[in-house]
Structure 1
Amino acid sequence: MFFFKKMVVIFIGSSFLSIGINFFLVPFELLDGGIIGIGLIINYLTGIQAGFSIIILSIPIFTLAWFINRSYFYNSLHGMLFSSFIIDLFAASHTPFIPPVLSSIVGGIFVGLGIGIMLRFDTSTGGTDLLAQFLSKLFNINVGFMIFIIDSLVIALGGLLISKDTFLLSCVTIIFVGLSTSLCTWKNRHKVYP
């Protein structure tokens, strides 16, 4: 029963994440933060699928998790693999259907809900979400806030490669990712992750 519940959570979280990325961020070449953001940058610059890039970029963090805390490794591996698969599955070209500002907000909410739902049930997409879990536990800071800090650094880096407008809209996106993730994990803020 536990495994089934975990798989349902991973499916729902990954679906929200993929919808946010593919239907709201990609049409305007907006960025999320963390490994997903780096995967999107690689996708925009080279055409390599974002999900595939996320898997490759997550290898060092999963290696760290293997040695530091294997439960982090096991709890996140399925989430990272499945969400990367779903992101690439829905990666077909999508025509924008709402204005860019609204798209950055709605996309951020969807991505944040996907990440937050998985974190609430002790799984994640790995990558910097996994790193944020380590740092959140270490510094006793809400994991959503920690993700926001890491995302901001990635957006700042991505800002060197994109236009000012896209950079500003990506900043709006990560604000809503952070808020949505924090709301989903709020009751878990004092929980010690396995």
Structure 2
Amino acid sequence: MVSIIIGSALIAIGINLFAIPNHLVDGGIIGLGLISNYTLGLQPGLTVIVLNLPLYTYAWFHFRSYFYNGVHGVLASAFFIDYFHPLMSFHTPPILISAITCGLLLGTGISIMLLTKVSAGGGDLLALMLTNVIRLNVGVIIMIIDGFVILLGWVVIQETTLIYSGLMVGMTGLTIFTITQLFSTSKQLEG
């Protein structure tokens, strides 16, 4: 439970303090929630819940443990994203610093949750399910999914923001890869 709260809070702070003010697009379902916020003015957290329904329905039937662990993560993340929405009115650092900082916060928050088999959204859940089928690190799979969402967001955002969104997602994936590798290696050394 503590990992869900800490991870979700880090994700929400990164999204609201650094991504939204700079119109950065994250990957996965959160990225789709941001795109809907920029284009339609929808609440990103609520949109995340709606877009996650099909994946969680699939997980209910095929990966029940991921469903139970993930549903808490997605609800908490979506709640915190909308709850911390007022942070977007705070002073934001320049876009380069925002992209890097947001990537570190998102990657750390997602990693904290993934290490306890909890996902923050559909992209993470999909990545966890795919690691049972293909032998790739969960961070690499998340980077691939995120890349597709950013390309979709390219239609909506300015070209310069695309570069910084890519940097943010790359930083997120690198952080997830590093943290999950570090902890999986330490578990192997202990076992």
Normalised by the shorter chain, which TM-score bucket?
A: over 0.9
Q: Deviations over 1:27-53 (max 9, x none)?
A: 111011000000000011111110000
What amino acid is aligned across from residue 172 of structure 1 in structure 2?
Answer: L
Q: How far 1:96 sits from its partner (Å)? A: 3.8
- Partners in 1 of 2:154 and 2:104 — Cα distance? 21
For residue 143 of structure 2, what is the aligned residue in structure 1? 148
Q: Is the 8 A contact 1:27 1:94 kept in 2?
A: yes
For residue 76 of structure 1, what is the aligned residue in structure 2? 70
Q: Deviations over 1:89-147 (max 9, x none)?
A: 00123244311011001001101111011001111113110001111221111001100
SS of alignment partner, residue 32 of structure 1: coil
Q: Is the 8 A contact 1:25 1:103 kept in 2?
A: yes
- Structure 1 gap ranges (5+): 1-6
For residue 12 of structure 2, what is the aligned residue in structure 1? 18
For residue 118 of structure 1, what is the aligned residue in structure 2? 113
Tell me the number of residue pairs that the alignment of Structure 1 and Structure 2 aligns: 184
For residue 132 of structure 2, what is the aligned residue in structure 1? 137
- Partners in 1 of 2:21 and 2:159 — Cα distance? 17
Q: Is the 8 A contact 1:62 1:126 kept in 2?
A: no
Q: How does 1:74-113 map to 2 (within 5 A)?
A: 74-92=68-86, 93-113=88-108
- Structure 2 gap ranges (5+): none
Runs of at least 4 residues off by over 6 Å: none
Of 37, 48, 55, the residue aligned with 1:43 is: 37
For residue 157 of structure 1, what is the aligned residue in structure 2? 152
Q: Is the 8 A contact 1:65 1:73 kept in 2?
A: yes
Q: Is the 8 A contact 2:63 2:129 kept in 1?
A: no
- Partners in 1 of 2:5 and 2:47 — Cα distance? 20
Q: Deviations over 1:157-182 (max 9, x none)?
A: 11111110011110000000101111
TM-score w.r.t. structure 1 length? 0.92
What amino acid is aligned across from residue 165 of structure 2 in structure 1?
Answer: S
Q: Is the 8 A contact 1:28 1:96 kept in 2?
A: no
Q: Deviations over 1:61-99 (max 9, x none)?
A: 001101111001001000100110000000123244311
Deviates more, 1:86-95 or 1:18-27: 86-95
What amino acid is aligned across from residue 11 of structure 2 in structure 1?
Answer: L
What is the RMSD of the two structures over their aligned residues, measured on CA atoms? 1.3
- Partners in 2 of 1:51 and 1:57 — Cα distance? 10
Of 180, 186, 190, the residue aligned with 1:185 is: 180
Q: How far 1:22 sits from its partner (Å)? A: 0.5
